[in-house]
Amino acid sequence: MNSINSQSKSVSCLALVAILSLSLPAALGQAAAAPAAQVPSAPSAAPSAPVDPLPPADPKFFTSPTPSVETINSFLKQVWGLDPNRLWRVEAVQPTPAPGVIKVTVFVTEKSPDAKVQSATLYVLPDGKHAISAGGGVIAFGAAPFVPLRDQLRAHADGAYRGAAGKDLELVEFADLQCPHCKEAQATIDQIVKDFPKARVVFQLFPLVNIHPSAFKAAAYGVCVRQQSNDAFFKYADAVFDKQDQLTPATDDALLKAAAVSAGLDGDAIAACANTQATKDIVNADIKLAEDAGVDETPLLSANGRLLPLTGMSYDSLKQLIQYQATLDGVESGATAETLAPAPVQPKLTDLPK
């Protein structure tokens, strides 16, 4: 994984972090009574177990009318719902001393003998569209938290693509042509293209210019190649990845020209195009798109707005999450039952998908 700043965290790809040490009194505090309609009556993720392991919700801890329990449960279904073993209940929705900031407390457990009840806290911001997790990250929040980024990328992610022409299921890979982990991730992307034939899989250029001195130029050549031929771009990218370790400011023009030629294009013409201000403006716009999307590392994959790492996650888990997002959005992926098997190892309670 290559990161712009190893100390920073992605704005929209971070998930809710559970606080495991809060006791019931500490988590809920003291508050006045609230309307009973705000209080959930059953675990939200799955049918109730024979013995309900979660504490009942007490109306006195629901002192803010928003966000509604329904909105919170819809949000949690988006980020937690893949795990059929998980049970949760919203236990408190309370104002904080910060104007407009609402504290939400959720109790969560698993359908297994002697499973412990744990708590997770997030702070919903005044716009109702973002929250701060207990770990300090700003995350998208709402009944459909991934829709804004999905729509943003549908409108502006214009990289070369494979697969379906339609954007019902759009998988956008943010990648840097000088990033070693991006090179390694291409085998995973190739498999995704095969396993999800109804997906549009986009290669979105995101050069990390602070750590890769030839990445911007490689992206500029890539823009010009893509303008000539969508299919040629992938031959060009493969050639660049193949010579990636030889890219330096002293050698990159020759290597990038050769990569363009290997894709069947005129290397000199592509080089001239790459050096124009218009092409540089396109690369800068691609960088801004990624930054606005909250992407601060490569490679990273957006599945209809749900950001997923391409390193550090098993392929079984990755494909299950892609399919889960497609199911939530009511769109076809083309994946078969055979493709989706075997099921991934279930994540820990605190390991939420990004």
Per-residue DSSP letters for 322-349?
HHHHHHHHT------HHHHPSPPPPPPT
The answer, yes or no, to whether residue 79 has pLDDT greater than 70, is yes
Here the tokens at position 118 are: 């744990």
Q: Which residue has the higher pLDDT, 36 or 76?
A: 76
User: Which pLDDT value is given to residue 43?
Assistant: 53
- Pinpoint the residues of the chain covered by CATH 3.40.30.10: 148-298
Q: Which long-range contacts (CB under 8 A, 24 or more apart) does 337-346 make?
A: 339/195, 342/316, 343/316, 344/314, 344/316, 344/317, 344/320, 345/314, 345/316, 345/317, 346/83, 346/85
Fold of the 148-298 domain: Glutaredoxin (3.40.30)
Average pLDDT of the chain is 86
Q: What is the structure's pLDDT at 50?
A: 56
Euclidean distance between CA atoms 184 and 311, whole angstroms: 9
High-pLDDT (> 70) share of the chain, %: 82
pLDDT at 345 over 70: no
With 80 as the cut, is the pLDDT of residue 13 above it?
no
d(CA 140, CA 147): 10
- Going through the chain in order, the beta strands assigned E by DSSP cover 2-3, 18-19, 86-95, 102-110, 118-124, 130-133, 138-140, 160-163, 170-175, 200-205, 297-298, 300-303, 306-309
User: pTM of whole model > 0.75?
Assistant: yes
